[in-house]
Amino acid sequence: MRKAYKIIHLDDNPVFFKVMERNLRRIKEIEIIYKAAPSIEKIEQMMNVNDLPDLFISDLMLENDYDASQGMNFVKKMYTNYPSLNIMVLSARSDLSIQEELKPFIIKYQTKTFLPRQFRQDLVRLLKESCHD
């Protein structure tokens, strides 16, 4: 029996949003229960401390956030509010200082320059390693 993993994804770019949705639906090893939201407000409404997703994937460069500070602060806030939440950052920014600053709050930092097949394999591995139930 395949494990069903719940993933919530935040990205304000509708094109990349669709790319991610297609990628997640192609994962054969697991069943993805996928929810997506275009805004921080929608994500906050979706979160329930009694029913957290197995993985929260967040972009950093959100609407009108030119230095990624809004996205970084949101990731830190999510970690503070939900310390057991597995957070992955999926960003176009490859800035090592950002990656280092977020390291204590996330389980993975991935740039958007990934190869789809490799990304799916890495995601399956990450989910199986980080979700021990």
Whether 94 shows a pLDDT value over 70: the answer reads yes
Range among 39-43, 46-50, 80-84 with highest mean pLDDT value: 80-84
pLDDT at position 85: 93
Confirm whether 115 is domain-assigned. Answer: yes
Confirm whether 64 is domain-assigned. Answer: yes
Looking at this protein, which amino acid is placed at residue 96?
L
**CA dihedral (34, 75, 94, 127) positive or negative:** negative
35: domain CATH number? Answer: 3.40.50.2300
pLDDT at position 110: 92
Number of domains in the chain: 1
Confirm whether 52 is domain-assigned. Answer: yes
Residue 133's pLDDT band (cuts 50, 70, 90)? low
Looking at this protein, which amino acid is placed at residue 104?
P
Q: What string of DSSP letters covers 16-52?
A: HHHHHHHHHHT--SSEEEEEEESSHHHHHHH--TTS-
Whether 84 shows a pLDDT value over 70: the answer reads yes
Long-range contact pairs involving 110-119 (C-beta distance under 8 Å, separation at least 24): 112/16, 116/23, 116/26, 119/23
Residue 43 φ/ψ, nearest 5 degrees = -60, -45
Q: What is the pLDDT of residues 10-25, one digit of tens each?
A: 888 888 888 888 888 8
CB 71 within 8 A of CB 91: yes
Confirm whether 133 is domain-assigned. Answer: no
Confirm whether 39 is domain-assigned. Answer: yes
Whether 69 shows a pLDDT value over 80: the answer reads yes
pLDDT at position 132: 64
Beta bridge partners of 115: none
What is the span of the domain harbouring residue 37? 4-128
